[in-house]
Amino acid sequence: MKNFDNTFFTYVVIEIVKTIPYGRATSYGAIAKAAGFPNMSRMVGKVLSNCDSATNNIPAHRVVNSKGELSGRESFGSSHEMEHLLAKEGIIVCYNKIKNWAKVFWDPISEIQL
DNA sequence: GGCGTGACTATGG
DNA sequence: ACCATAGCCACGC
The chain-wide mean pLDDT, for chain A, equals 93
Res. A36: pLDDT tops 60? yes
Res. A114: pLDDT tops 90? no
Res. A25: pLDDT tops 70? yes
Instruction: Determine whether the distance from the CB of A96 to the nearest atom of strand B is below 7 Å.
Output: no
Instruction: Determine whether the distance from the CB of A19 to the nearest atom of strand C is below 7 Å.
Output: no
The answer to whether residues A47 and A16 touch, using CB atoms and an 8 Å cutoff, is no
Instruction: Determine whether the distance from the CB of A9 to the nearest atom of strand B is below 7 Å.
Output: no
Closest nucleotide to A76: CA versus each C1': B7
> Each residue of A52-91: b (16+ CB within 10 Å) or e?
ebeeeebbbbbbbeeebbbbbbebbeeeeebbebbeeeeb
Strand B, nucleotides < 7 Å from a protein CB: these are 6-10
Instruction: Determine whether the distance from the CB of A16 to the nearest atom of strand B is below 7 Å.
Output: no
Res. A63: pLDDT tops 80? yes
Mean pLDDT, to the nearest integer, of A43-61?
96
Q: What are the pLDDT digits (tens) for A68-99?
A: 999 999 999 898 999 999 999 999 999 999 99
Q: Given this model, what pLDDT does residue A79 score?
A: 87
Backbone angles phi, psi at A55, to 5 degrees: -70, -40
